Amino acid sequence: MKNVALEDTSTTGITHRSVQVGEIRMHIAEAGSGPLVVLLHGFPETWYSWRHQLLALAAAGYHAVAPDQRGYGRTELPDAVEDYTILHTVGDVIQLVDVLGEERAVLAGHDWGGVVTWHAALMRPDVVRGVVSLSTPFQPHADGAHLAGLRAVAGADYENYYSVYVQRPGVADEELGEDPRATVRRALYGASGEGYPWSPIVPAGGHLLDIWPEPGELPGWLTEQDIDTVAEDFARTGFTPALNWFRNFDRNWALTSPWHNAVITQPALYITGDRDLAAKLPGAAELIEGRSAAVPHAREAIVLPGCGHWIQQERSDDVSRAMISFVRSLAPWRT
């Protein structure tokens, strides 16, 4: 396990520290005091993707905490692929709530963070009071492993579908790590509302970065400093730990078999963009249309026009307002 050095910093009301969560040291960014709201990032991101919501939630009277999840940023990086299963990532969050001195929390997740959020709610309803998921719909455990199910969707392009492409040991790791700044810039622009549309199919003979266009100029919500901040973390850690999350698709399906066809019992809010390819995933249409049997207590979904995949950054004010309104609707919930 690689031990990542941590520098204590405090900027614009956000403080940073390292806490012991199970077998790993986890870096967290936090702001405010009050009932706990935990914010979980996706790929290729870090805690920094929640910088706007940390401050907004703090101003609204909440203790907002955004960790670097295992394998990312300044959190420790386990070495083995099998150390990045859904049981590990959910376990990290549940233990983090306990380490922070709370019994319950609202979880908000984006992308892979949404996957963790939904499964934490499923596995530990005693801890997770409510769910906010950005981009990622809830996909209940059902017949068929993830990658096998993807074959039916991708057809002849299956081997070059990006979720399958990254399964090849070392290939995407090297491509993304060659220039971390270019990787972050192209990913954040390419999957945004401004970069839309993009294809998840890696061109034959091409590289993973070829699925995202090179931006002519950055959109207004993204600065060169933002790119530098995230790229510096990936330059230090590499991309292998983050890609190991993808390499547990089938293992996660096997591990979650006890929750076969189980449902989310907590109140939940789903937010997506109309230019977010994740809104095409199974389960998204049901949430958007208010007919999800798997999430029977889902609130009215929010679909942001012109918004791509990086929702909490592209539409930071809209997302912050929606989250605060949802969390307030759950009161009183702090024990």
- Is residue 219 included in any domain, yes or no? no
The percent of residues above 90 in pLDDT, for the chain, comes to 85
When the pLDDT of each residue in the chain is averaged and rounded to a whole number, the result is 93
> Is there a domain that residue 180 lies in?
no
Provide the token pair at 61.
């009277």
Confidence of residue 6 (pLDDT cuts 50, 70, 90): very low
Would you place residue 158 in the very low, low, confident or very high pLDDT band (cuts 50, 70, 90)?
confident
Tell me the CA distances in angstroms from 300 to 23, 167, 264, 290, 291, one per residue in order.
38, 36, 15, 6, 10
In this structure, is residue 162 part of a structural domain?
no
pTM, entire model: 0.94
Which pLDDT band, with edges at 50, 70 and 90, does 12 fall under?
Answer: confident
Out of 41, 110, 141, 309, pick the active-site residue: 309
24 has pLDDT over 60: yes
CA-CA distances (angstroms) from residue 123 to 41, 78, 222, 227, 258?
Answer: 19, 23, 35, 35, 10
pLDDT at 3 over 90: no
Report pLDDT for 145.
Answer: 59
The angle, 0 to 180 degrees and rounded to 10, between the axes of the packed helices 112-123 and 86-99 is: 70
CATH number of the domain to which 96 belongs: 3.40.50.1820
Check if 126 is active-site. Answer: no
pLDDT tens profile 217-276: 999 999 999 999 999 999 999 999 999 999 999 999 999 999 999 999 999 999 999 999
Model pLDDT, residue 272: 98
How confident is the model at residue 11, as a pLDDT?
Answer: 57
Between 100 and 281, the more confident residue is 100
Q: What is the mean pLDDT of residues 60-77?
A: 97
Q: Is residue 198 in some structural domain?
A: no
Residue 273 covered by a domain: yes
Q: Name the band, by pLDDT with cuts 50, 70 and 90, for residue 37.
A: very high
What does each C-alpha distance from 50 to 30, 42, 63, 108, 174 come to in angstroms? Answer: 10, 10, 13, 10, 27
Residue 263 lies in a domain: yes
Given 83, 92, 111, 276, the catalytic residue? 111
Model confidence at 326: pLDDT above 50: yes
Give the structural domain span for 257.
Answer: 10-148+249-329
Mean pLDDT of 160-167: 92
pLDDT, residue 165, reads: 94
Q: Provide the pLDDT for residue 157.
A: 84
DSSP 294: S
- Annotated catalytic, 111? yes
Within-domain flag for 316: yes
Domain membership of residue 142 (yes or no) is yes
pLDDT digits 0-9 by tens, 106-155:
999 999 999 999 999 999 999 999 999 999 999 988 765 577 777 776 77
Contacts of 331 (CB under 8 A, 6+ apart): 35
pLDDT for residue 333: 64
The count of structural domains within the chain is: 1
Could you tell me if 97 and 127 are in contact, meaning their C-beta atoms sit under 8 angstroms apart? yes
Task: Please report the pLDDT score of residue 7 as a whole number.
Answer: 38
Q: Residue 63 above 80 pLDDT?
A: yes
Q: Confidence band (pLDDT; 50, 70, 90) for 9?
A: very low
pLDDT of residue 144: 59
Name the region of 86 (left: φ>0; alpha: ψ -120 to 50; beta: rest).
alpha
